[in-house]
Structure 1
Amino acid sequence: MISKLLIANRGEIACRIMRTAREMGVATVAVYSDADAKALHVRMADEAVHIGASPAAESYLVGEKIISAAKETGAEAIHPGYGFLSENAGFAQAVIDAGLIWVGPKPESIEAMGLKDAAKERMIAAGVPVTPGYLGEDQSVERLTKEAGDIGYPVLIKAVAGGGGKGMRKVDAAADFEAALESCRREAKASFSNDEVLLEKWITSPRHIEVQVFGDSHGNVVHLFERDCSLQRRHQKVIEEAPAPGMDEATREEICAAAVRAAKAVDYEGAGTIEFIADASEGLRADRIFFMEMNTRLQVEHPVTEEITGVDLVEWQLRVASGEAIPLTQDELSIDGHAIEARLYAEDPATDFLPSTGPLDHFDLGEEGRIETGVEQGDEISPFYDPMVAKLIAWGEDRDEAIDLLADIAEEVEVWPVRTNAGFIARALLDDDFVDANLETGFIARKMDTLVPDPLPSDAAWQTASEFALLAASEDHENLPTGLRLNAAPRLSVHLAHKGEGRDVPVTGADADIEATGIVDGERVLLFSSGQAFEFETAVRGSGHASAADGAILAPMPGKVIAVDVSEGDAVTAGQRLMVLEAMKMEHALTAPFDGTVTGLEASVGGQVQVEAVLCVVEPSE
């Protein structure tokens, strides 16, 4: 068995790997960038090695530094987690060449499945059904445009080296194809250093079904059943569950058998996931489920599989990497209950899910369910990495029980001042269609108006905040609301303000129609309710910043300007793209708020900007 393990990753996955390693008596080594010098995974590890500056390209993506850190600390093995270098066949080979153990599949297997076009050809040869599309070497705009037309719109453009929803665009009409292709290629080049793409027919009622597989060096391959990952936003998974709702035993047997064939076709070792797209227009049927790709690593959503099988997949990874056989046979694996996972992101649904960065002055995810996180109160969310801060997992005897528990967990999330999607998660889980398992990958986009919570506090929230403030200021605290915490001596006040709006709220003493907890701290009340957070102050504060209402185009977050489409003096129309900002691995287009003329252009390609920096001004037309 491995005695010392280096984790070539950060955040919640690094912490999760360390927990299992510690239980197995395996010492751990963390690596960290400048931004992560005080991170939780660094504090948890037995040893930690600094590997570079904050950008991942200068730290977590530099394989030589990671291998050097392993040798320096005497680590025998490297676990890549997911993302970063986890599916980099060259890095895996370099680890092996350095005399270290690679906790993952063989480099040849990664390479075989790493390029989506070659992987699909291999799957066809193995008898695994694939989605109709174009896999050709001719990557000219003309050829791709022609093939898209032949396939028939809508089509999906996918980076051949892509993953995690990056380098992927749905195109509904021929007129939009070239612009989508350009954006997809640019994102793929930045994320994977490879801008080649493939095309697939877009399935109109799609469900994303994936199968967890596991292989060892003794020729054994098993599956650990399926997961449903259909709830996605911009191709990024948000809520995942196992087993897939509506999956009958015959269909399960066929799709899982196909996944095992796929893994055997590349002589697979370790944990992997075979991803399928299902045409669910008539329910889940084996003849309407197609191979999409293989993820040659541990998946973000692996906890739901662990919850229904009782297996620790990281333990299996370490045992198999050490040369042991898979601990259980296929006949010894079974499904117990239902599990659902939600990804808690540092983002603000009210501002089109823009990432939210900064200190976690208050961070409480409760004690129910299973929580996987890489941060604690007092830590900071950096703009350099993926905005996922935690995974919330619930298990139940059946799906309804799991839904109810996870919704409760999401509604009780307390995070401040960083914004999260907790309220959005709770609404999605309690939506009638989700409860009834009417799922497809367009679920979130179709229901966005009802899933995004109102960013402004309700009248009941104002009332509750006023009650909290006044009760906290009273000498008799016996009637304090449940969950109220006093962090400082409060000041009696009936005047509250939120984002510039002031109200004199009468205190009635009656129960408000809201379940909430609060913190009264100096001259403010923090109110947490249904996964949202509201800050009420006792005096109105103006921000003093320009806003889109007067034509100023502000940076919505710290980031890098990667495209500027206008020049000083240009006439623009409402909605026209002015520039593109890249932050936290996502592109954000900034558009004109109305017809007018561009003035005060401060942005330039390659420039780094801070949040609320004025990038340009659009003077309205007369």
Structure 2
Amino acid sequence: MIQSLLIANRGEIACRIIGTARRLGIHTIAVYSEADADARHVRLADAAMAIGPAAARESYLVGERILAAARESGAEAIHPGYGFLSENADFAEAVVAAGLVWIGPNAASIRAMGLKDAAKQRMIDAGVPVTPGYLGEDQSAERLAAEAQAIGYPVLIKAVAGGGGKGMRRVDDAAHFAELLQSCRREAASAFGDDRVLIEKYILSPRHIEVQVFGDTHGNVVHLFERDCSLQRRHQKVIEEAPAPGMDSATREALCAAAVRAAKAVDYVGAGTIEFIADGSEGLRADRIWFMEMNTRLQVEHPVTEEITGQDLVEWQLRVASGEPLPKRQDELSIDGWAMEARLYAENPATGFLPSTGRLDHLDLPQTVRIETGVEAGDTISPYYDPMIAKLVASAPSRSEAIAALADACEDVECEPVRTNAWFLKRLLDAPKFQEGDVTTGFIAAHLEALCAAPVPSDALLQYAADDLAFDEAHVPGGWDNPAREFLQGRFGFRLNAPQRRTVRMLVDGAPSEVVVEDHALWFDTMRSSVTDGSARTYFEAGAAFTVAPYRVEGARGGAGGDGALLAPMPGRITAVEVGAGDLVIKGQRLMTLEAMKMEHGLVAPFDGTIAELPAAAGAQVREGSLLVRVEREEG
């Protein structure tokens, strides 16, 4: 077994690898960019090496810096995780040439599966079914259009060197083929430096099914069954599960056998995934499932396979790279129960999935499911990298139980001020079609408007928040420990003939709301915890966060500033404040600058007036919807 391991990655996968390596007694070395100097994976590792500036292209993607860190730290092996350099054949060769152990397949296997056209031809030769299409050398627009016509529309144009959902265009008719071909080629050239494409038949009811394979240096190859990754948005996986719903034993046997043949065709060593596309219009059938591509690395969704097989795939990787045979034979592997994974991202589905960056002042992840994360409360979601917060993995004896457990976990996520997609994930899990196992890769796109509609707080939450505000305004000591004492102190006064009523006006995520608070009926309710920040409080419900603040100036609406109250349009940092309280300002005058999403946003006076409130200060991190400045109109 190797004794020291450098992890050429960051975030949750680096933390995941560290956990297994430590259990095996392996010394771990993290690498980090300037943005990750205090990241969780750095804190967890036994040692850490700086590798450059924040931008990945200047740090995590620079092979020479990774190798220099390995030499300086005395590492024996390098684990690339996934993403970054994990499927870079040149880097894999450089690691081996430097006398280090590469935790992954050899460079020849990576190259064999790296180009989609060559990989498909190799699969055809190995007897693996592939999607009908054109893989030829003639890349003229005329030839490609003719082949598309012969295949029959709709077709899919795919970059030969593509991956990650880039360089793909669906074409529904001949009239749009030339335009979409040019678009696909431009994107492919920009992303991969190669504008060659192939043409495939587009499957109208597609399901994404993939098989986990593993090979060793002794000629053994096994599969660890299949996963269903059909819930996708723009070709990016959102929720994955294992096994695949509706998969019968005969179809599973044929599919997994094809995956093993695919791995053997390239003398595969280590963890890999054979991805298939299935026509789900008539259920899963062996003759309606075709090879798409191979990922020559560990996958993001590997935990669901671990959960149903009881195996640690990172341990398998380390043992195989150390020269050991596979830990299990094929006949020793079986499926036990069901597992499901949701990717929790720092993004807001209601605003087109814009990333939500900033400090995680409050982060409470459920303890009822397996959590894979690279952050903790107090850490920062950086604009430089993928905004994943965590993977939530539920396992149970049945699919319905796994869905219920994962939905509950998504509902219990608490994160502030950074916004998450937890409520969006819960809506997916609650969708009747998904619960029936009847979804395709187009499900999210087909239901996007309903799935992404901004969450609305329940009446119970509004009542609770209004009660909180009424209490705050009354300035009654004693807190929430003793409701009876609050009552006796006369929180709302005392009447013998009827309950006391009061209308509380407040802003909920910047929008005005009025709630009638009556008596003390809600004092003993059990509600979700809240996070306070001055006069604002944040409440959590069904995976969503709602920020409630006192009503200001005739109802400040959504941060537009038309009534004088300017609210933060997204989480960010105040980089400059150019006015002071009481200053006279004129319409259009720049008041302050908010830095968010790697851009600066200038906030200007909506009309002539006086700075009445200025709660924001330079250098402060602010929440979405928080009041930054209020201008009082200058009469006359």
Does TM, normalized by the shorter one, top 0.5? yes
Residue identity opposite 1:153 in structure 2: Y
Change (3 A) 1:140 1:52: farther
Provide the residue aligned with 1:312 in structure 2. Answer: 312
Return the offset for 1:463: 2.0
Provide the residue aligned with 1:432 in structure 2. Answer: 432
Residues 110-136 of structure 1 deviation map (CA, whole Å, 9 limit, x = unaligned)? 100011110000000000000011212
1:497 aligns with 2:486: no
SS in structure 1 of the partner of residue 61 of structure 2? coil
Provide the residue aligned with 1:562 in structure 2. Answer: none
Percent identical residues: 65
1:10 aligns with 2:13: no
Change (3 A) 1:257 1:23: same
1:518 aligns with 2:530: yes
Say if 1:354 and 1:556, in contact at 8 Å, map to a contact too: no
How far apart, in 1, do the equivalents of 2:427 and 2:44 lie?
Answer: 34
How far apart, in 2, do the equivalents of 1:288 and 1:465 lie?
Answer: 54
Return the offset for 1:197: 2.2
Q: 1:477 aligns with which of 480, 489, 496?
A: 480
Return the offset for 1:514: 10
Say if 1:471 and 1:477, in contact at 8 Å, map to a contact too: no
Structure 2: gaps of 5 or more residues:
484-501, 563-567, 573-596, 604-636
SS in structure 2 of the partner of residue 457 of structure 1? coil
Residue identity opposite 1:505 in structure 2: V
Change (3 A) 1:418 1:167: farther
How far apart, in 2, do the equivalents of 1:62 and 1:293 lie?
Answer: 26
1:394 aligns with 2:406: no
Q: 1:535 aligns with which of 544, 547, 558?
A: 547
Residues 151-205 of structure 1 deviation map (CA, whole Å, 9 limit, x = unaligned)? 3322222222222223223233444444444443344344333332222111001
Return the offset for 1:91: 0.7
1:25 aligns with 2:43: no
How far apart, in 1, do the equivalents of 2:482 and 2:27 lie?
Answer: 50
Change (3 A) 1:191 1:375: farther
Residue identity opposite 1:370 in structure 2: R
Provide the residue aligned with 2:160 in structure 1. Answer: 160
1:363 aligns with 2:363: yes
How far apart, in 2, do the equivalents of 1:21 and 1:352 lie?
Answer: 38
Residue identity opposite 1:36 in structure 2: D
SS in structure 1 of the partner of residue 516 of structure 2? coil
How far apart, in 2, do the equivalents of 1:511 and 1:427 lie?
Answer: 28
Residues 495-517 of structure 1 deviation map (CA, whole Å, 9 limit, x = unaligned)? 32124433342223445999643
Residue identity opposite 1:207 in structure 2: R
Return the offset for 1:386: 1.5
Match runs of 1:89-488 below 5 Å: 89-470=89-470, 475=478, 477-478=480-481
How far apart, in 1, do the equivalents of 2:381 and 2:410 lie?
Answer: 19
Aligned length: 549
SS in structure 2 of the partner of residue 467 of structure 1? helix
Return the offset for 1:286: 0.3
SS in structure 1 of the partner of residue 51 of structure 2? strand
Say if 1:471 and 1:479, in contact at 8 Å, map to a contact too: no
Residues 87-108 of structure 1 deviation map (CA, whole Å, 9 limit, x = unaligned)? 1111100100110000000110
Q: 1:610 aligns with which of 599, 613, 622?
A: 599
Change (3 A) 1:145 1:279: same
Return the offset for 1:444: 1.0
Residues 351-393 of structure 1 deviation map (CA, whole Å, 9 limit, x = unaligned)? 1112221111111112111010111111111111122221110
Return the offset for 1:55: 1.5
Please, which moves more after superposition, 511-520 or 266-275? 511-520
Say if 1:78 and 1:103, in contact at 8 Å, map to a contact too: yes
Residue identity opposite 2:480 in structure 1: H
Change (3 A) 1:175 1:47: farther
Residues 420-457 of structure 1 deviation map (CA, whole Å, 9 limit, x = unaligned)? 11101001011111111112111111122332243443
Change (3 A) 1:404 1:141: same
Say if 2:469 and 2:550, in contact at 8 Å, map to a contact too: no
Residue identity opposite 1:159 in structure 2: A
Say if 1:149 and 1:174, in contact at 8 Å, map to a contact too: yes
Change (3 A) 1:319 1:170: same
Change (3 A) 1:555 1:412: closer
Residue identity opposite 1:526 in structure 2: T
Change (3 A) 1:545 1:453: closer
Say if 1:555 and 1:611, in contact at 8 Å, map to a contact too: no
Residue identity opposite 2:346 in structure 1: A
Residue identity opposite 1:333 in structure 2: L
Say if 1:2 and 1:77, in contact at 8 Å, map to a contact too: yes
How far apart, in 2, do the equivalents of 1:534 and 1:160 lie?
Answer: 45
Return the offset for 1:547: 9.7
